[in-house]
Amino acid sequence: MSQPIPVLYEDNHLLVVNKPPNIPVQADSSGDPDMLTMLKDYIREKYDKPGDVFLGLVHRLDRPAGGVMVFARTSKAASRLSDQFRRRTVDKLYRAVVMGETPNTGELNNYLYKDRDKNQVEVVREQHPDAKPASLSFKTLSTKNGLSLVEIELETGRSHQIRVQFAHAGFPLWGDYRYGKQQQPQDRNLALLSFTLRLDHPTKKERMEFSVGMPEREPWEGFL
């Protein structure tokens, strides 16, 4: 791999990794190295597999975000994991540092519209013809220096959902150049982490949990 990606767990069916921030999940117009290609290279080299390597992409993370991601190493695992994500039986916990002091607990319920040409999401009225409901709950773990560390549980899995909903509520994510209007575009270190994933193993049916630690860099280090 051109850049080492920390592996949290692997077997014949799963590959679970800690995605570094600012790496696209799959190849895009930027031409930058992407997770899918690098992890296929990792499998090819480690197991001396000739030709094309199968690796199933069953969920996504925004390019500037980091944290736990699971990939499927067989088509059967890909189908079963994708079904879990569709049925919302995967527990997804995120952590984020946001601007402002958030309530101790809360829920955000909005309708979102994605402009696919611009890759931009906005909160719209329920009557919008392409509106999709988006819901999440959160609890505040700590506040410091005008920032809050929040833990978020997604009830839906909309594109850019956490970033858009918190910005709309008046608490944009630290380092969000796209939706945090007051921040500068060059600040790409988005403070959004896929902290924990809980899912059923696709063949053993055992419940599994994977977590990562918080990054030791600004702004996370202030909450460690």
* Catalytic residue ranges: 62
Helix, coil or strand: residue 203: coil
Q: Among residues 157, 132, 148, which one has the least CA distance to residue 61?
A: 157
Residue spans of beta strands (DSSP E) within the chain:
7-10, 14-19, 56-57, 66-72, 91-99, 105-115, 120-124, 132-144, 147-154, 192-200, 207-211
CA of residue 1 relative to chain centroid, distance: 21
Contact 66, 18 (CB under 8 A): yes
One DSSP character per residue, 35-96 reads: HHHHHHHHHHHHTT--S----EE-----TT-EEEEEEESSHHHHHHHHHHHHHT-SEEEEEE
Q: Which residues pair with 98 in a beta bridge?
A: 148, 173
